[in-house]
DNA sequence: CGGGTAATTATGCAAGCGTATAATTACCCG
DNA sequence: CGGGTAATTATACGCTTGCATAATTACCCG
């Protein structure tokens, strides 16, 4: 009658925390914030609810940690493919934009998850700061890529910081907006369509042609919005 | 001791419904969905909670109605200033973009409110359909304005539907993205800065100069991102 | 091998939730 | 003026929530 099998396993703290965060993210993305109750999260992570209190002083703490985790991963997934130093700056910028507008970054789960968090930045100060930080981080990476691409293209004068800032804000908005729309209404766009639009648009905004042409044997040259008058 | 004052007033149905919807919107924007409980909404609208059930079969019903109300108002507030038929198409487009990126449309309250709703489009079918409808409505208005502006500017060939669609998607993304960022981090941008960026960017995307110049005595010509190569 | 300790479970509680139903009551109409 | 009725209030129920606290128990170390 005596059961010798251990009733639970003791895991290292960081690992358990990570498991709880992942469980929270899964639940929020599937059922919204309302579905991410302490009990549901614990069940998903295969622990009892008391353990959450042991690692996070409050539920809000856990949610905040989950937000940070998600946003950092989004940024990383977008930036990583563009990190190769041995390609042209233009290619790095192109890769960055395309990565941000394709799976797995552009995804219903990610978008609704993000929206859940955003809705709380007005109330929750921790969330607000987290959003500010991740936003600036992302925009700054984008600005660096744009600057490098402009310099590489040999613009007559070195890019004015003020213009650069505005280009970054605008390009960021394009990416964010397309990402959101693609995530919210996946069936409304063809595969790769939003990435293509993103490249054309950012190209028009910063004054460079960003169409991908090196990797693939280049499709019909002007099948994508040929904004007249761009470089 | 007998109190002759009536204990409550009977109001017309539509008026009561409207009051409940407004109360719900106020609460969601202030405290997020979690704060919009049946009791809190009723208190805000100065009625007892039972009345909500009398007008909306379920709480979800009320929330859904509130979403529709909010989105339609956003669209209307953006489109109304651009509805004058007696100005140029270019001016109408300019007005539309500027209105969407200035108060009261661009506002923390509106953005967090919108985010609260968006986070539920994955779970809730009614919300999903509502989002789809409002998105297409907004984008379609934008596409018409762009088409008119292009024709008016005398583009060599009449705008190809496919290009037009992509321009509308991209311009919509710019507006959405800037609107979101401006609402989420109001202190990060100067007054009018995002509207200005929006005009420049959409201009670059569709190949027209959209800088406002007629109404105000035109500021220093190139103090705004002079994207090289645009018309 | 055997004790100490921190990870984990088990249990409980008070508050708030959405919803249902019955009791009031303001207002309309003859 | 007086009854009928729908708008509104009042009350209650069952359930879930986040959090706290006490009881277990797996694992490490001498």
Q: Which nucleotide is nearest to A11 (CA to C1')?
A: C7
Residues of A whose CB is below 8 A from B207: 204, 227-230
Is A207's Cβ below 8 Å from some Cβ in B?
yes
pTM over 0.75: yes
| Nucleic strand D within 7 A of Cβ B48 | yes
Is A81's Cβ below 8 Å from some Cβ in B?
no
Residues in CB range of A207: below 8 A, 6 or more apart: A150, A155, A230, A231, B204, B227, B228, B229, B230
- Nearest CA to the C1' of C27 belongs to which residue? B10
Residues in CB range of A226: below 8 A, 6 or more apart: B163
The confidence score (pLDDT) of residue B221 equals 41
Tens-digit pLDDT profile for residues B50-101: 999 999 999 999 999 999 999 999 999 999 999 998 999 999 999 999 999 9
The confidence score (pLDDT) of residue B123 equals 87
The confidence score (pLDDT) of residue A124 equals 87
Give pLDDT tens digits along chain A (231 positions): 455 678 899 999 999 999 999 999 999 999 999 999 999 999 999 999 999 999 999 999 999 999 999 999 999 999 999 999 899 999 999 999 999 999 999 999 999 999 999 998 988 888 899 999 999 999 999 999 999 999 999 877 778 999 999 999 999 999 999 999 999 999 999 999 999 999 999 999 999 999 875 444 434 444 444 444 443
Q: Is A26 helix (H, G, I), strand (E, B) or coil?
A: helix
Chain D bases closer than 7 angstroms to a protein Cβ = 7-12, 16-22, 25-27
Is B120's Cβ below 8 Å from some Cβ in A?
yes
Mutate: best of A119, A124, A150, partner B, most B CBs <10 A: A119
Q: Which nucleotide is nearest to A59 (CA to C1')?
A: D18
Q: Look at A197 and B166 and tell me if their CB atoms are within 8 Å.
A: yes
Q: Which two tokens stand for residue B36?
A: 């919009």
Q: Look at B184 and A131 and tell me if their CB atoms are within 8 Å.
A: yes
Tell me the HSE value of A137 on the side-chain side, using a 13 A CA sphere: 15
- DSSP type of residue B53: H
Q: Look at A177 and B173 and tell me if their CB atoms are within 8 Å.
A: yes
Q: Which two tokens stand for residue B94?
A: 């300019």
| Nucleic strand D within 7 A of Cβ B38 | no
The confidence score (pLDDT) of residue B20 equals 98
Residues in CB range of B157: below 8 A, 6 or more apart: none
Residues in CB range of B151: below 8 A, 6 or more apart: B89, B158, B159
Contact B174, B73 (CB under 8 A): no
Nearest to A60 by CA among A155, A149, A145, A127: A127
Q: Which two tokens stand for residue B129?
A: 């359909």
Q: Which nucleotide is nearest to B3 (CA to C1')?
A: C25
On the question of a cis peptide bond just before residue B178, with omega within 30 degrees of 0, the verdict is no
Q: Which two tokens stand for residue B34?
A: 């979690």
Search chain B and give the residue with CA nearest A173: B177
Taking the CA of residue B48 and the C1' sugar atom of nucleotide C23, their distance in angstroms comes to 14
Considering only CB atoms, B225 lies closest to which of A34, A131, A167, namely A167
Q: How far apart are CA B220 and CA A101, in angstroms?
A: 36
């Amino acid at each position: 009658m005596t059961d010798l099998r251990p009733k639970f396993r003791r895991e290292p703290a960081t690992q358990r925390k990570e498991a709880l965060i992942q469980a929270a993210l899964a639940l929020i993305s599937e059922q919204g914030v309302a579905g991410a109750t302490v009990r549901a999260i614990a069940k998903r992570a295969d622990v009892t609810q008391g353990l959450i209190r042991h690692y996070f002083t409050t539920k809000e703490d856990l949610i905040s940690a989950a937000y940070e985790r998600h946003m950092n991963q989004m940024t990383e997934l977008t930036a990583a493919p563009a990190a190769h130093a041995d390609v042209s700056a233009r290619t790095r910028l192109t890769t960055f934009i395309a990565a941000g507008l394709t799976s797995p970054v552009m995804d219903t789960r990610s978008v609704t998850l993000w929206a859940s968090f955003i809705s709380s930045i007005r109330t929750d100060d921790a969330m607000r700061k987290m959003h500010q930080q991740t936003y600036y981080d992302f925009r700054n990476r984008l600005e660096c890529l744009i600057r490098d691409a402009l310099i590489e293209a040999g613009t007559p004068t070195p890019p004015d910081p003020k213009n650069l800032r505005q280009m970054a804000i605008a390009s960021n908005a394009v990416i964010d907006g397309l990402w959101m729309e693609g995530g919210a209404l996946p069936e409304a766009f063809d595969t790769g369509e939003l990435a293509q639009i993103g490249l054309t648009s950012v190209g028009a905004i910063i004054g460079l042609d960003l169409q991908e042409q090196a990797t693939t044997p280049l499709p019909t040259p002007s099948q994508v919005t040929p904004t007249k008058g761009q470089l």
